[in-house]
Chain A
Amino acid sequence: MPIEVIFFIEVLAGGLLAGVMYALVALGFVLIYKASGVFNFAQGAMVFFAALTFVSLLALQWNFWLALLVTLAVMVVLGLVTERVVLRPLVNQPPITLFMATIGLTFVLEGLSQLIWGSQPHGLELGIPDVPMEWLSQRWNVNISQFDLFAAFVAGLLVAVLAVFFQKTRIGRALRAVADDHQAALAVGIPLQHIWAIVWAVAGFVALVAGLMWGVRNGVQYALTFVALKALPVLLIGGFESIPGAILGGLIIGATEKLAEVYVGPMFGGGIESWFAYVVALLFLLVRPEGLFGEKHIDRV
Chain B
Amino acid sequence: MILSVEDVSLAFGGVKALSDVSFDVKEHEIRAIIGPNGAGKSSMLNVLNGVYRPQKGKIRFKEKVFSGMDPHAAAALGIARTFQNIALFKGMSVLDNIMTGRNQRMRCNFLQQAIWLGSAKREELEHRRAVEEIIDFLEIQHIRRTPVGRLPYGLQKCVELGRALAAEPRLLLLDEPMAGMNLEEKQDMCRFVLDVNDQFGTTIVLIEHDMGVVMDISNRVVVLDYGRKIADGTPEEVRKDQKVIDAYLGLAH
Contact = CB atoms under 8 A, between A and B. Distances in A.
B81 interface: yes
Contacts of B164: 188
Contacts of B40: none
B200 interface: no
Name the residue among A174, A180, A183 with the largest chain B CB count within 10 angstroms.
A180
Contacts of A88: none
Contacts of A171: 110, 113
A189 B87 contact: no
Categorize the interface residue count of chain A: 20 to 34
B80 interface: yes
Interface in A162-188: 164-165, 168-174, 176-177, 179-181, 183-188
Interface string A280-301: 0000000000000001011000
Contact of B87 (A168, A184, A191, A297): A184
A198 interface: yes
B88 A186 contact: no
Nearest to A161: B114
B108 interface: yes
Interface stretch (B69-77, B187-195, B204-212): B69-77
A31 to B, nearest CB: 13
B103 interface: yes
Given A187-B49, A188-B80, A180 B110 contact: no
Nearest to A197: B110
Nearest to A295: B91
A173 B96 contact: yes
A198 B120 CA distance: 17
A189 B105 CA distance: 10
Contact of A169 (B83, B87, B100, B124): B124
A190 interface: yes
Contacts, number: 95
Contacts of B34: none
B167 interface: yes
A187 to B, nearest CB: 6
A181 B89 contact: yes
Contacts of B51: 183, 186-187
Interface string B203-239: 0000000000000000000000000000000000000
Contacts of B84: none
B180 interface: no
B92 interface: yes
Nearest to B163: A188
Categorize the interface residue count of chain B: 35 or more
Contacts of B87: 181, 183-184, 187
Contacts of B91: 176, 179-180, 241, 295, 297
A28 B96 CA distance: 24
Given A170-B106, A298-B150, A188 B100 contact: yes
Nearest to A298: B149
Contacts of B103: 170, 173-174, 188-190
B76 A189 contact: yes
A186 B100 CA distance: 11
A170 B124 contact: yes
B37 interface: no
Contacts of A164: 116
Interface string A177-211: 10111011111111100000010000000000000
B72 A191 contact: yes
B47 interface: no
A276 to B, nearest CB: 32
A187 B75 contact: yes
A179 B74 CA distance: 21
A34 to B, nearest CB: 10
Contact of A187 (B81, B113, B114): B81
Given A170-B103, A297-B91, 5 more contacts: A170-B99, A177-B97, A188-B163, A189-B76, A191-B72
Interface of B: 49, 51, 71-72, 74-76, 80-81, 83, 87-92, 96-97, 99-104, 106, 108, 110, 113-114, 116, 120, 123-124, 149-150, 163-164, 167
17 contacts: A169-B113, A169-B124, A170-B103, A170-B108, A172-B113, A173-B99, A176-B96, A181-B90, A185-B89, A187-B51, A187-B87, A189-B103, A191-B72, A198-B110, A241-B91, A295-B91, A297-B90
